[in-house]
Homo-oligomer: A and B are copies of this chain.
Amino acid sequence: SRSINLAVIPGDGIGQEVVAEGLKVLSAVLPQDVKLETKEYDFGARRYHDTGETLTDADLDALKKHDAILLGAIGDPSVPSGVLERGFLLKLRFAFDHHVNLRPSKLLPGVATPLAGEPSIDFVVVREGTEGPYTGNGGTIRKGTEHEVATEVSVNTAFGVERVVRDAFARAQARPRKKLALIHKNNVLTFAGHLWTNIFNKVAAEFPEVTTEYMHVDAATIYLVTQPERFDVIVTDNLFGDIITDLAAAVSGGIGVAASGNINPSGEFPSMFEPVHGSAPDIAGQGKADPSATVLSVALLLRHLGYEAEAARIDEAVSADLAERTGKPARSTSEIGDALAVRVAG
């Protein structure tokens, strides 16, 4: 019989609330024969304040035993900027080699967009997750003096770039439009840019059916608001991916519906799924958060574990729920979760 052994990290702020709904929908969608085991982990601001710890080796050993990880959000204004981001979120991505950061953007019917007209948006960003300016390489000298120098080093390897580029080509190949755009800034960041561009072109030769284009990251932000229908699959570096996926989320219905997967395709380590939004301390504990992004992240999780039919049922449920929102009074986090649970079970 089948089973899913899930690590659950609600985290901070609205993370707690949205993860509860994600689990509700997960339980509702799974067939009877699938045994779902969940173990909750208390990471984030509270743990940091209590113990000074963010993510220990023992924590990593424990997490490693799970099939996948569902995360709500990590981060709180009471913790200095960077401590939880570098000490937990990025540490986990790097430790578990989550090199494919998958972020789909789809403007669903009935969903509001800040863009005029009725843009058609349906693309997925494959963001590299273990290299680039996110490595934490760099440092500071003469800190706090007028002679301070601070550096950040973007590290890019042929190994790291090729595997994520291959993943993106395979995804493009599997989609009807078969288009792949590389986004970088190779006219300025020439060292990293040439590595990315050369590998992209080399792998392209193996995927003759995929139509490719290259775009500078600054130009890409223009196209994301003027011609978002142009995109099918995008592959890009860690920092550019961070920036354009927030913009992509904004134009395709907001971060309330933006899901993401931090994927280790080899399966050597569990992959992690999380909404793109943060812990939103301003609305935490009030039942105001939209759990849709977390529920859609559960769909990505199921798809990753091979439960394609169940993933599709969740996608459809969220889509139907969103389509019926216009003109109705706002519902609470758990009301939306309840409605989605009913839909996926039905």
- Let me know if B86 and A144 touch, CB within 8 A: no
Interface residues of A in 129-185 (CB under 8 A from B): 133-134, 136-140, 142, 144-159, 162, 185
The CA of A222 and the CA of B138, in the complex, are separated in Å by 28
Using Cβ atoms and an 8 Å threshold, which residues of chain B touch A113?
116
Instruction: State which of B90, B133, B187 has its C-beta within 8 Å of the C-beta of A81.
Output: B187
Using Cβ atoms and an 8 Å threshold, which residues of chain B touch A146?
158-159, 162
The CA of A239 and the CA of B133, in the complex, are separated in Å by 12
- Let me know if B149 and A133 touch, CB within 8 A: no
- Let me know if A153 and B151 touch, CB within 8 A: yes
Interface size, chain A (Cβ < 8 Å): 67
Using Cβ atoms and an 8 Å threshold, which residues of chain B touch A193?
81-82
The residue in chain B whose Cβ has the minimal distance to the Cβ of A86 is: B190
Q: How far is the CB of A159 from chain B (nearest CB, A)?
A: 7
**A180-219, CB under 8 A of B: which get 1 and which 0?**
0000011111111111011000000000000000000111
Is residue A226 within 8 Å, beta carbon to beta carbon, of the partner chain?
A: yes
Using Cβ atoms and an 8 Å threshold, which residues of chain B touch A90?
188
Known: A82-B188, A86-B187, A138-B192. 13 other contacts (CB 8 A): A133-B152, A133-B188, A140-B191, A140-B194, A147-B158, A148-B157, A150-B191, A151-B154, A151-B191, A152-B153, A152-B189, A221-B246, A247-B247
Please name the 9 residue pairs, one residue from A and one from B, whose CB atoms are nearest each other, closest first.
Answer: A218-B246, A221-B247, A148-B158, A150-B195, A150-B191, A152-B154, A85-B187, A82-B190, A222-B250
